[in-house]
Amino acid sequence: MLLVLRRAAPTRALCSQAQRPAFAAAACRRFATAATKEDDTVVKIYEGPLNAAVKRIRLVSLTTLATSLMLPPMALIFKSSATVSLMGKVAVGGTAMVAGVGSTAALHFCTLPFVFEMSREGDRIVATRMDILARRVTHEFREADVKREPTTLRPFVTFEAAGESFFVTKSGFADEADADLFGSNS
């Protein structure tokens, strides 16, 4: 038996809104703008001086989170002592789990605004930060959106843009004017 597959002619654009998943939106937008704007070049304007240290401490925090969530239940099952009550074991295991989750959440809250690198493409700024799983996430905004005096209570914030908080240091900028634009005083 011979099976013949016929491919239908494409009726939609490559990057239609209905077809693409949310994570591919930036890639499609980049391809679409690359074809129309050839004069805009991407210029790296900032690289965080503490990139390696922040990434390392976040990975260590994720490791301690994982161990604090896995070890107490296993200790309760396998290393149970007859002299300690079940409520005592649950209290000790629960305290260890809360401490692991709490320290990772606090670290994430404090280091979320830390910018690893920033680049300029025309009037667009692309800032790269890290999410809670230590993956790099990009945020796009315009220079006009930058507010140098943040309104958040979050620590380590030097400016806000497009509803997000960012932290940069003066030593990471290649140009002094860019450091002044983003409100970096140190």
Distances in Å between the alpha carbon of 126 and those of 51, 122, 136, 164? 17, 11, 12, 12
Question: How far apart, in whole angstroms, are the C-alpha atoms of residue 163 and residue 15?
Answer: 26
Within-domain flag for 168: yes
Residue ending a domain, choose from 111, 133, 149:
111
pLDDT in tens, the chain (186 residues): 334 444 444 444 444 444 445 445 554 554 444 444 555 688 999 999 999 999 999 999 999 999 999 988 888 777 767 777 888 888 888 998 999 999 999 999 999 999 999 999 988 999 999 998 889 999 999 988 998 888 888 888 999 998 899 999 999 998 888 888 887 665
Q: Are residues 46 and 121 in the same domain?
A: yes
Within-domain flag for 103: yes
Q: Are residues 156 and 82 in the same domain?
A: no
Within-domain flag for 22: no
Residue span of the structural domain in which 75 resides: 52-111
Indicate the number of domains in the chain.
2
Within-domain flag for 10: no
Q: Are residues 137 and 105 in the same domain?
A: no
Q: Are residues 98 and 121 in the same domain?
A: no
Strands of 31-82, DSSP E: 42-47
Nearest-Å Rg of the Cα atoms of the chain is: 24
Would you say how long the chain is, in residues?
186
Tokens of 162: 């497009």
Under 8 Å between Cβ of 113 and 182: no
Q: Are residues 120 and 103 in the same domain?
A: no
Q: What is the pTM of this model?
A: 0.68
Question: How far apart, in whole angstroms, are the C-alpha atoms of residue 56 and residue 58?
Answer: 5
